[in-house]
Chains A and B, each alone.
Chain A
Amino acid sequence: DIVMTQSPDSLAVSLGERATIKCKSSQSVLYSSNSKNYLAWYQQKPGQPPKLLIYWASTRESGVPDRFSGSGSGTDFTLTISSLQAEDVAVYYCQQYYTTLWTFGQGTKVEIK
Chain B
Amino acid sequence: EVQLVESGGGLVQPGGSLRLSCAVSGFIFSDYYMDWVRQAHGKGLEWVGRSRNKANSYSTAYAASVEGRFTISRDESKTSLFLQMNSLKTEDTAVYYCVREGKGYCSNGVCNYAMDVWGQGTTVTVSS
Contacts and interface: CB of A to CB of B under 8 A. Distances in A.
Nearest to A52: B116
Contact of B46 (A55, A100, A104): A104
B73 to A, nearest CB: 18
A25 to B, nearest CB: 14
Contacts of A1: 64
Contacts, number: 74
A50 B120 CA distance: 9
Interface in B16-72: 35, 44-47, 50, 61, 63-64
Contacts of A65: none
Chain A interface mostly? loop
Given A40-B115, A55-B104, A93 B45 contact: yes
Given A33-B108, A61-B103, A102 B47 contact: yes
Size bin of chain A's contact surface: 20 to 34
Given A97-B101, A104-B46, 19 more contacts: A1-B64, A40-B114, A44-B45, A49-B118, A49-B119, A50-B97, A50-B118, A52-B116, A55-B114, A61-B116, A97-B113, A97-B114, A99-B112, A100-B50, A100-B61, A100-B112, A101-B47, A101-B63, A107-B44
Interface of A: 1, 31, 33-34, 36, 38, 40, 42, 44, 49-52, 55-56, 59, 61, 93, 95, 97-107
Interface of B: 35, 44-47, 50, 61, 63-64, 97, 101, 103-104, 107-108, 110, 112-116, 118-121
22 contacts: A1-B64, A31-B110, A34-B108, A38-B112, A42-B115, A50-B45, A50-B97, A50-B115, A50-B118, A55-B114, A56-B114, A59-B103, A97-B113, A97-B115, A98-B112, A100-B61, A101-B61, A101-B64, A102-B47, A104-B45, A106-B44, A107-B44
